[in-house]
Structure 1
């Protein structure tokens, strides 16, 4: 079965450290602790992965992020990518070719991924039920340390 991991982007971005760097590949844009743990987990257990951004949608590793932004799906903003655009990206980037999705986020991303991929998507959310980002980070660290997926 082909699995795609979906990682959250995160607040901290490369421009927070290197302000004048300009556009970067998506794989280099996000530097926060939670994102880095999700990435390490994905690289260990699910080598196919994308980053879900409220501004840019589903980012593949070689996609370019033009510059800094501060946006999340919990914000109220016209700059948030629409569900229609997300569903289009799933189709255009052939993300719907994957039979299994492992979504490394909390509950706020669940309806977004479900609507983007449609009602028949096989979605697993191993961090669901965690009592916050601290517990999610602990679970990821433990899985990495033990070499055992959640």
Structure 2
């Protein structure tokens, strides 16, 4: 992912493929998260044909082809949970993926991600196009509208 100027970041989500297929082992990150919101986010970034990653409270920064070894039940809201990945660990992942110096970061999630993105990408310009939505239903409606009209949020 070297030389990327603009990076889209989408949240992982609670529903996972193992909820319906517990027999599965490790899967690609692009297949692991099955919730409606996450699926709409993937559809949106694929429609735009942009560079994107998933942010997971357990596994950190995941490219679409990265492997998620198993299910988990964590949220970035669980502040003192030792199983939540640290900012330093995620910054190391960004360095490994050559994404630390991205100039523009577009976070497609709620306001809880603002402080995380600001710590991960302190020098980048940040955009939160879904910020100000009236909840997950409103975010999903806005995403569907953008996808149906093939336009950016």
Q: TM-score, normalised by structure 1?
A: 0.95
Q: Does 2:82 correspond to 1:78?
A: yes
Find the partner of 2:42 among 39, 46, 63: 39
Q: Which runs of 5+ in 2 are unaligned?
A: none
Residue 132 (structure 1) aligns with: 135
Find the partner of 1:91 among 89, 95, 101: 95
Q: TM-score, normalised by structure 2?
A: 0.93
Q: Which contiguous aligned blocks of 4+ residues in structure 1 show a shift greater than 6 angstroms? A: none
Cα-Cα RMSD? 1.2
User: 2:100 aligns to what SS in structure 1?
Assistant: helix
- Count how many residue pairs are aligned between Structure 1 and Structure 2: 149
- 8 Å contact kept, 1:4–1:46: no
Distance 1:113 1:27 in 2: 21
Q: Does 2:151 correspond to 1:145?
A: no
Which digits, 9 at most, give the CA deviation of each residue in 1:4-49, with x for residues without a partner? 1101000100000110100111111001000001111111124211
Q: Which runs of 5+ in 1 are unaligned?
A: none
Q: Greater share of helix residues, 1 or 2?
A: 1
Distance 1:88 1:36 in 2: 27
How far did 1:97 drift? Answer: 4.2
User: 1:70 aligns to what SS in structure 2?
Assistant: coil
